[in-house]
A and B are shown apart, each in its own frame.
Chain A
Amino acid sequence: MTAVKEPEIAPPPPTPVISLERANYGDLVFRLVLTLAAVLIPVLLGFLVYELWTGSRLAIDRFGLDFVTSSTWDPVAEEFGAYPLIFGTLLSSLIALLIAVPLSLGVAIYLTEFAPKQLRQPVAFLIGLLAAIPSVVYGLWGIFVLIPALRTTAFPFLRDVLGFLPLFQGPIYGPSMLAAGVILAIMIMPYVMSVSREVLLAVPNSQREAALALGATRWEAVITAVVPYARSGLIGAVILGLGRALGETMAVTMVIGNRHEIAASLFAPGYTMAAAIANEFSEAVGDLHLSALAYVAFLLFVVTVVVNAGARLLIWRVARGSGAGSSAL
């Protein structure tokens, strides 16, 4: 989509008519109101950063950057360290990516390159429905359906087959890092799928035709001509999914088990930054506890901004001007 050019306004006649002058006032007021709204948004963001900063000031002064590496979280002794939270956020998001990325890329490639025309829209639509389900509903389903199912089938299976790895040892509780990863995977899949699909659709047909003309099969054309062309956009889609996973709160809070510990086993409960804020913020007593949670929120904000900015840059590189990915962002 090309940017709309500013319409040319006819130069004012040498002797201005009264109605035209009034019109100019109208233009001025109109532009002023719109500008106010447009300026308000950066102002709000600035205010957000300021509030997060002042809110976490107490904890920043007290713990500094050690906050990131310390693992004690003791509201009674007023000792706070966010390492287990950061670790949990990263690990659960990583598990989610490991599961969701192959699935979403498979679906996206199938839908853009191979699926029968009549199937493409309906399947994309159904997977899009997953994105419309509220996070808290995923959490509810996770507690009462997914976790019991995983505990009786997938977890014992993993322990039997891959039990030689420390990752899959130890008692199976149910609420766990792995359960959080699985539910996150389901939640980010529609985003990764729809952005990769748009990126793949933005690959010019001449790429495919050139490969096919050289005798490639359709699959070879996809692997040699389409995917490499779209590579940075696909990476962007994955990073975008990562951004979603890092900030996801409710569903994770409900299935991860909420324990301030780092365990080697994926079957053990853990905690994430977002989940800690959700659980403890309204019940925090001391100022320092609140401030530590605000510090966590501040860190989470910084991380997601960096991740999302990276994703956008990569998507722009492929889909510059085509508007691909814009709706999903």
Chain B
Amino acid sequence: MVGLMIGAVVVALIPLFFILLNLVLKGAGSLSVDFFTRTPAPAGETGGGVVHALVGTLIIVGTAGLIGLPIGVAAGVYCAEYPTSRITWITRFVADVLNGTPSIVIGVFAWAWIVATQKHFSALAGSVALALLMIPMVLRTTEEMIKLVPNSLREAALALGYPRWRTSLSVVIRTTLPGIMTGALLAIARIAGETAPLLFTALGSQYLSFDLNQPMAALPLTVFTYATGPYEEWHQYAWAAALVLILVVFILSLGARLAIGRRYSINA
């Protein structure tokens, strides 16, 4: 039986190995300075790059973070600081529901809310969809992190005459700030790779754009378009863009995980 289980571990690790290997083998060859600095060449021509998608992902994910982080963190602090409140119970439950909601459904919601009322696709709608995806994740980690703060710390601050809000802000939240940032990074890593909510919100584009009110390219959308397109050259670009995307995601989430590991070892 143990042999079978070791077999299961090996089988489970094979896809990871092959995905990473293929990404490097097929993607690394197309990486060049042009790739990071130029916009795509017209279909059929060679050359060009994906700078529009890099900038787009940065803007869309950044805006999503600006919307989602404050709401997620504040709601997480609420749930941790007022655990007996009825709102806490409801918010926690709803966050779990949202967390299990398929990202494509969130995309349909953002479409109905923003794109359908404005009558045009926009990067902002994509950011809202991504923000909605990250709020429950940020809420959960914030709450868990704050619950780790020993009560004696709170009591010490209150005993020194700090009001509750200052105790929360400058004692509780400050102690947990690294943990909260870690949760934020993990959430950003997760939404940076999301494609489905952007399909009919940010839509994608072939041009470099900085306007949140217009369609905008994003790295995952570029991978999708190029991978399903008809040209061999596009496929190579899809691999290269996927390699860049996965590097971004891995660096963000590995950095976050390492930070968590270090934090726990200090506490222990």
Binding site for B on A (CB under 8 A): 1, 3-10, 20, 23-24, 26-27, 29-31, 33-42, 44-45, 47-48, 51-52, 54-55, 102-104, 106-107, 109-111, 114, 123, 125-127, 129-130, 132-141, 143-145, 186, 189, 193, 219, 243, 246-250, 254, 274, 277-278, 281-282, 293-294, 297, 300-301, 304-305, 307-309, 312, 323, 326-327, 329
Contacts and interface: CB of A to CB of B under 8 A. Distances in A.
A6 B250 CA distance: 38
Nearest to B250: A132
Interface of B: 1-2, 4-9, 11-13, 15-16, 18-19, 22-23, 26, 70-71, 74-75, 77-84, 87-88, 90-91, 94-109, 111-113, 116, 121, 132, 135-136, 139-140, 144, 146-149, 151, 154-155, 158, 163-169, 189-190, 192-196, 199-200, 203, 220, 223-224, 227-228, 235, 238-239, 242, 245-246, 249-250, 253, 257
Most B Cβ at <10 Å: residue of A10, A104, A126, A134: A134
A247 B98 contact: no
A137 B223 contact: yes
A96 B105 CA distance: 21
A175 B82 CA distance: 51
Contact of A312 (B16, B77, B96): B96
A108 to B, nearest CB: 9
A277 B249 CA distance: 26
Nearest to A281: B200
A5 B149 CA distance: 11
Pick the 8 closest A-B CB pairs, nearest first. A247-B102, A134-B193, A106-B8, A23-B163, A30-B165, A308-B100, A37-B74, A110-B5
A33 B104 contact: no
A149 to B, nearest CB: 9
Contacts of A3: 83, 147
B166 A219 contact: no
B158 A123 contact: no
Contact of B9 (A123, A129, A249): A123
11 contacts: A38-B79, A38-B88, A41-B71, A134-B249, A136-B193, A145-B22, A248-B102, A249-B195, A281-B111, A281-B200, A300-B104
A136 B2 contact: no
A274 B70 contact: no
Nearest to B4: A106
Contacts of B90: 42
Contact of B220 (A33, A134, A144, A189): A134
B158 A304 contact: no
B108 A37 contact: no
Given A38-B88, A248-B102, A278-B196, A7 B155 contact: yes
Given A300-B105, A329-B96, A133 B75 contact: no
Given A4-B83, A30-B165, A110 B6 contact: yes
Given A27-B163, A278-B104, A254 B70 contact: no
A130 B16 contact: yes
A41 B80 contact: no
A312 B23 CA distance: 35
Contacts of A274: 102, 104, 196
A7 B154 contact: yes
A281 B169 CA distance: 44
Given A27-B163, A34-B74, A140-B238, A110 B8 contact: yes
B2 A129 contact: no
Contacts of B249: 132-134
A109 B54 CA distance: 41
A193 B235 contact: no
A269 B226 CA distance: 21
Contacts of B169: 30
Given A278-B104, A308-B97, A38 B195 contact: no
A39 B87 contact: yes
Contact of B91 (A39, A103, A301, A307): A39
Contact of A301 (B102, B113, B167): B102
B80 A4 contact: yes
A134 B238 CA distance: 13
A56 to B, nearest CB: 9
Contacts of A308: 96-97, 99-100
A140 B190 CA distance: 18
B74 A326 contact: no
Given A9-B158, A34-B78, A329-B99, A103 B104 contact: no
